[in-house]
Amino acid sequence: MPEPAPQHCPSPVELDDLELILSGAVPGVTGFNQPGSILTLALPDAVSEAATAAGAVEIVDPEGLPLARVSWPAGEVSVLAHAAYGPFRNLHLTPAQHREANAGRTVVPVADALTETQLAVLADLGPIALLALTGHGTPSLSPVGLIRATLAAAELLPDAVVVTAPLADHADAEADHALGVTVTAAYAGPDPIHAIAESLVETYPSTIAAIIDFDRPPVDRQGLVLFFTGLSGSGKSTLARALMDLLLEQGTRTVTSLDGDVVRRHLSAGLTFSKADRETNIARIGWVAAEIARHGGVAVVSPIAPFDETRQRVRAMVEEAGGAFFLVHVATPLEECERRDRKGLYAKARAGEIPEFTGISSPYEEPEDADVRVDTTGRTIEDALEDVLAELRNQGFLDLHGPDLNGPDSAGPA
């Protein structure tokens, strides 16, 4: 009896690619990992091993709905169900559905908001179909933002309809361009294609400009995750709390604290301090922080987060959600952290009572991608925090100024 196929929820880019394959938008490509195709599927080692034993893997969406069965390792795809949710799902027509519904229209591939100059040209083309090439990782508007902007453009044209197809960024400009040409040709069929000329002066109609402003807020209104990492006792939680107080005092942003100990009580109760559980704890913090950033809020996070791979996962989640990730390495030396030892943890770790303790029996991988590095040794909270505030101001995220260093709010060493 064959092994049951394991289930796997792939990355957003891979889900976009799956939709392209299932829709027939890439003629001749019937699966992942085919020669010459950039539509690839990567499985975690454990899933790949199980899929190889079963001869297939079942692809599910983030809600767990089985979408396709992929033979493994061959990569051939067979449909199980079509995605039935998501913004503007009714506009996700297959090429065949589009040609049946919109035959005779000039197909215009759209990858960014349309300017007034571009709209003036399109208005003279007659009946057109605006093909919004959405996809995860693209540098312009978000997928939903691009569709909204394209619908707004259609309202300003004499005869236009909107169709969308996912065209994700595969970090290969030449291959992605070729894929876009192939997908557009599949939708057009025998109908003409009009390539939009780049507009040198980006002036947008007011309805489109409002959508751009909402989708691409200025840096000081963008969702933001302030991620403090460092050894136990380094001062990261103290700095994070001080920064959060300033944000609350300013009163211009919604702020949520995701302190490590608080999160462990409410979000990650039951997890141990094993490496696997600690990484799960950081991943949970990262997911919540990314959702806060997705909705324009500020999340202040202060776990130890000793491993670069996990910090990169959090960064990717935040950036995928459209937020900014600001990494603070509180680089107080181990000797100083151990001297403070406010909770007596280092003493217990030295005595062997706490296994896998970061800095003693488990490594701390210093980040090479920190936005700012702070050593709190012998410094007041306000003085150390100013290093963080200066870089936040420099990058345009927040215009915060700490309290008077000599005032009544001045505190002792961090």
Distance (Å, whole) CA 392 – CA 66: 43
Q: What is the pLDDT of residue 57?
A: 97
Distance (Å, whole) CA 146 – CA 57: 32
Element (DSSP H or E) covering residue 249: helix 236-250
How far, CA to CA in Å, does 395 sit from each of 72, 206, 213, 379? 46, 28, 19, 24
Which tens digits make up the pLDDT trace of 198-251?
877 789 999 999 999 999 888 888 999 999 999 999 999 999 999 999 999 988
Residue 7 pairs in a beta bridge with: 58
Tell me whether the omega of the peptide bond preceding residue 73 falls within 30 degrees of 0, making it cis: yes
Angle (nearest 5°) at CA 186 between 185 and 190: 70
Domain 89-215 CATH superfamily: HUPs (3.40.50.620)
Q: What is the pLDDT of residue 403?
A: 53
Which tens digits make up the pLDDT trace of 56-106?
999 999 888 999 999 999 999 999 988 777 889 999 999 999 999 999 999
Q: What is the pLDDT of residue 405?
A: 37
Q: What is the pLDDT of residue 407?
A: 40
Distance (Å, whole) CA 247 – CA 252: 8
Radius of gyration of the chain (CA): 25
Answer yes or no: are the C-beta atoms of 13 and 136 closer than 8 Å. Answer: yes
* Residue 199 token pair: 């507009």
Q: Where are the domains of the chain?
A: 7-79, 89-215, 219-395
> Which CATH entry fits the domain spanning 219-395: 3.40.50.300, 1.20.1250.20, 3.40.50.12780, 3.40.50.10800?
3.40.50.300
Contacts of 349 (CB under 8 A, 6+ apart): 357, 360, 361
Closest to 70 in 3D by CA, of 82, 58, 60: 58
Q: What is the pTM of this model?
A: 0.80
Distance (Å, whole) CA 105 – CA 199: 23
Domains 89-215 and 219-395 share a fold: yes
Work out the angle between the directed axes of helices 381-395 and 236-250 (0-180°, nearest 10). Answer: 60
Strands 160-166 and 224-230: unpaired
Q: What is the pLDDT of residue 1?
A: 56
Q: What is the pLDDT of residue 110?
A: 97
Which residue ranges in the chain fall short of pLDDT 50? 404-414
Q: Where are the alpha helices (DSSP H) in 138-235?
A: 143-155, 173-188, 206-215
Q: What is the pLDDT of residue 85?
A: 78
Contacts of 129 (CB under 8 A, 6+ apart): 98, 102, 105, 106, 107, 108, 160, 161, 162, 163, 187
What is the secondary structure of 22-88 as a DSSP string?
A: HHT-STT--BSS-TT--------HHHHHHHHHHTEEEEE-TT--EEEEEETTT-BEEES-----STT
Element (DSSP H or E) covering residue 109: strand 106-110
Give the three-state DSSP class for 130.
Answer: strand
Residue 228 pairs in a beta bridge with: 328
Strands 324-330 and 224-230: parallel
DSSP 193: B
